[in-house]
Amino acid sequence: MRHDNPKAVALRARLNVHQPALAMAAHNPLSAKLAAAAGFDAIWGSGFELSASYAVPDANILSMDTHLEMMRAIGEVQDAPVIADLDTGFGNAVNVSYIVPRYAAAGVAAVVMEDKTFPKDSSLRPGGRQELVPAGEFQGKIAAAKNASGNAIPGPLVVARTEALIAGLGEAEALRRGAAYVEAGADAVLIHSKQKTPDEILSFCRAWPGQAPLVLVPTSYPQLSFADVAALGKVGLIICGNHAIRAAAAAMQNVFRRIIAEGGIAGVEADIASVADVFALQGDDRMRALEKAYLR
């Protein structure tokens, strides 16, 4: 009997190129819970955000176990589908075959892999090492991810991310790689750009023949609105790739500076969450109910 992953089924149904799904990045269960409560359709289990939360570079420094356990924890506290950012897949196609079932068991709805060499460098890092593996090699990783769960239990959606534009290889190569990855079984293609205007991405989207929905991460070109993306009729998912960690860092920096400058904590009280708010996010009401029901 086939037992579909309900979160993967829900996410697949939500990849509507005329009304793209919206995913917000998260680096821990609290940020994921806040994103889901705000109304985002999915949670982006961001490698960049998780690395930043550990104060280390986004360069495959954290282990797969660290990322996997965070994806599991994120999925346990809220109901939105989790899209796991696997970077380069933690190795070759053999590694991918081992790790994807573990992400499936953790309840993730989709995995995203990029076609860079291991260890990767952050796509938006100035002067970063943006080296791609051969397209055929990456096709093998996609096929391994698609087949890892076997026929009995369909696994997460597989999103193939090409860094051809990031590496400066041009639109034709990006299109060639995207088509090759769909041929290998990718459910969607993430196309990334570090240009400060959306022109490069818009050109790619218009040229994309539409074999599979596209995924955009408009970090570098924030002037492109969600409505503009929907009008293209090619994009099924928009990822807000790092806004949770950036918002958290900015808010903490501001509050910490004020406390030092003001010589006390009274001045910031009106601008931060109350202790009661945090209790609510922790599920304190449920714990009280459990205490009432079971403590003797």
* Strands 235-240, 214-216: pairing kind: parallel
Q: Is 271 a catalytic residue?
A: no
> Which amino acid belongs to residue 173?
E
Of 58, 87, 121, 187, the active-site residue reads 58
From the list 219, 187, 184, 181, the residue with the least C-alpha distance to 201 is 219
From the list 172, 177, 166, the residue with the least C-alpha distance to 125 is 166
Gap between the Cα atoms of 146 and 72, Å rounded: 20
Q: Which residue has the tokens 């917000």?
A: 24
Q: Tell me the HSE value of 219 on the side-chain side, using a 13 A CA sphere.
A: 23
**Contacts for 210 with CB less than 8 Å, ≥ 6 apart:** 17, 234
Q: Which own/partner pairs from 197-205 qualify as long-range (CB within 8 Å, at least 24 positions apart)? A: 197/221, 197/223, 198/223, 198/224, 198/228, 200/165, 200/171, 201/165, 202/232, 203/171, 204/165, 204/171, 204/174, 204/175, 205/232, 205/234, 205/235
Q: Looking at the annotation, which residues are catalytic?
A: 58
